[in-house]
Amino acid sequence: MKLPVFTVAMLLVVQSFCTTPCAHAQNVHQGTNDLVLKTAIGHPMQYYVSLPKGWTPAKKWRILVVLEAAEKEYKANAMRFVAARQDLPFIILAPFIVTNGNAGRRDPAIFPYTPATWDNIEKIGNCTFDTEGLEGVIGDVQKEYQGEEKVLMTGFEAGTHLLWSYIFTRPERLAAAIPVSGNYIGRCVEEALISKHPSRTNLPIHALYGANDTLWGRKGGNFAQWERAKQLALKSGYANISEEELPAIGHVPVPKEIISYFIKLMAKETK
**Cα–Cα nearest to 69, from 80, 59, 61:** 80
193-219 residue pLDDT tens: 999 999 999 999 999 999 999 999 999
Class of domain 5-270: alpha beta
> What's the CA dihedral at 134, 139, 145, 150 to 10 degrees?
90
Q: Domains of the chain: which residue ranges? A: 5-270
Under 8 Å CB-to-CB from 6, ≥6 apart: which residues?
A: 124, 128, 132
Where are the strands (E) in 126-181, listed by range?
A: 151-156, 174-180
Task: Please state the pTM of the whole predicted model.
Answer: 0.89
125-158 residue pLDDT tens: 999 999 999 999 999 999 999 999 999 999 999 9
Q: Which 3 state secondary structure label does DSSP give 217?
A: coil
24-51 residue pLDDT tens: 434 555 555 689 999 999 999 999 999 9
pLDDT of res. 33: 64
- Could you give the percent of the chain with pLDDT greater than 90? 85
CB–CB of 166/153 below 8 Å? yes
